[in-house]
Structure formats: structure tokens, C-alpha cells
């Protein structure tokens, strides 16, 4: 039996869809580690520290959440921290193929189990990528992200427009 799980992601930036999955997963574990990936290959909009700050502010109403960072393989992070369960949100059938592959690979590599949370239909169209695109061109993303993320996106893209 396990009382801890990890909810990994890039969170560039965290959206209301992520928060929904985190809240619902947190209700089923004593501790939920939200692990924010430092992707070496990708150039994120927000640096790792900022992504972590935004995650903290979006989840500070939850008492059993810890925000950590990781790089490299998720299964190594799981092994190092003695965590055997990964939680991921599933928005639609289109997520299923890649999520299934990752779940099977993580199980094959280290016996790590993946539990899926079906994303609320309210958020099923949401992704960090789409939110960034809408914000980049001045659209209102306030219904889709926590307030601090909305402010950060506005500031980030306003700064980009003024150069
Ligand atoms: O928020 P994302 O970008 O959908 O999250 C993807 C994430 C971070 C869960 C996935 O890319 C990951 O686990 N990366 C770490 C590297 C790794 O373990 N890759 C093999 C996965 S089978």
C-alpha cells in the first residue's frame, strides 16, 4: 500500500486543468509530490523557478502537496524518492496513446504504476501550449489559468512586445 504519489509535468505554465487533476489526486493520497521537469531539450516560456512559484501559488490551498523539481528519467526520480505511483490526467482519446506508452515504459523500467485521472470536461480542451498561444496574441486566458499565471503571461508577453 502506498500513501504517496507523484504528479509529474512540465507545467509551462500550470493551468486550471492541471490544478483540477492535482486537487483530485491529492484527495486520495496522504502526500502528493508535484514534480516539475527541467527539460534540457526544450526552451520553456517560464524558467523552472517561476514554474515552481506558480505551481506553489496555485496549490497553496492544499495541505498535502509538495512541489519538487526533477531532471532525467521520471523512474529515477521515483526510485530515489521511493514513490511507486505516478498520476497523470487524461483529457481525451488523443492523450491516450502517448500516455499509455509512457505508463508501460515506466512500468517496464521500474515497476512504477500510473493512475489516470479523467480530466473534467470543463478543462478537456486546455493545454499549456494553447494557453500560451492565446496569451501571446493578447487573448483573455483568465478563465483557463490561476490568477498569478494570468498576470505572469500578460507581463511576459507585454515585455516581449515592447522589445
Ligand atoms: O506536462 P508534460 O510535458 O505532458 O509532462 C511529460 C512528462 C514530464 C511526464 C514526461 O515527459 C516525463 O516523464 N519526462 C521525464 C523523462 C522521462 O522519464 N522520459 C521517459 C518517459 S517513459
Distance 91 CA to ligand 1 centre (A): 16
Q: Is 138 helix (H, G, I), strand (E, B) or coil?
A: coil
What is the rounded distance in angstroms from the CA atom of residue 107 to the CA atom of residue 53? Answer: 30
106 lines ligand 1 (CB under 6 A): yes
Ligand 1 atom 16: residue of nearest CA: 73
28 is an active site residue: no
What is the rounded distance in angstroms from the CA atom of residue 45 to the CA atom of residue 35? Answer: 18
Phi-psi region of 30 (alpha: psi -120 to 50; beta: other; left: phi over 0): alpha
pLDDT of residue 42: 82
Residue 120 is given by DSSP the state: P
Q: For the chain (length 163 residues), average pLDDT per consecutive 10?
A: 92 98 97 94 93 98 97 98 98 94 98 97 96 96 98 90 61
pLDDT of residue 41: 81
Instruction: Write down how long the chain is.
Output: 163
pLDDT of residue 163: 55
90 lines ligand 1 (CB under 6 A): no
Residue 34 is given by DSSP the state: E
pLDDT of residue 159: 77
Cβ atoms < 10 Å from Cβ of 120: 15
Residue 126: all three cell numbers together:
486546455
pLDDT of residue 107: 98
91 is an active site residue: yes
pLDDT of residue 40: 78
Q: ω into residue 13 within 30 of 0, thus cis? A: yes
Q: What are phi and psi of 87, to 5 degrees?
A: -115, 130
Amino acid at each position: 500500500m502506498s500513501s504517496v504519489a507523484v504528479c509529474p509535468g512540465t507545467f509551462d505554465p500550470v493551468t486550471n486543468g492541471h490544478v483540477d487533476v492535482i486537487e483530485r489526486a491529492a484527495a486520495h493520497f496522504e502526500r502528493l509530490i508535484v514534480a516539475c521537469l527541467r527539460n534540457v531539450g526544450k526552451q520553456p516560456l517560464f524558467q523552472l523557478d517561476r514554474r515552481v512559484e506558480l505551481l506553489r501559488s496555485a496549490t497553496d490551498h492544499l495541505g498535502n502537496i509538495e512541489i519538487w523539481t526533477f531532471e532525467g528519467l521520471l523512474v529515477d526520480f521515483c526510485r530515489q524518492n521511493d514513490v511507486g505511483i505516478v498520476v497523470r490526467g487524461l483529457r481525451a482519446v488523443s492523450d491516450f496513446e502517448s500516455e499509455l506508452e509512457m505508463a508501460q515504459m515506466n512500468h517496464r523500467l521500474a515497476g512504477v504504476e500510473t493512475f489516470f485521472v479523467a480530466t473534467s470536461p470543463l478543462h478537456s480542451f486546455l493545454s499549456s501550449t494553447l494557453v500560451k498561444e492565446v496569451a501571446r496574441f493578447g487573448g483573455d486566458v483568465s478563465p483557463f489559468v490561476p490568477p498569478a499565471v494570468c498576470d505572469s503571461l500578460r507581463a511576459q508577453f507585454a515585455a516581449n512586445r515592447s522589445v
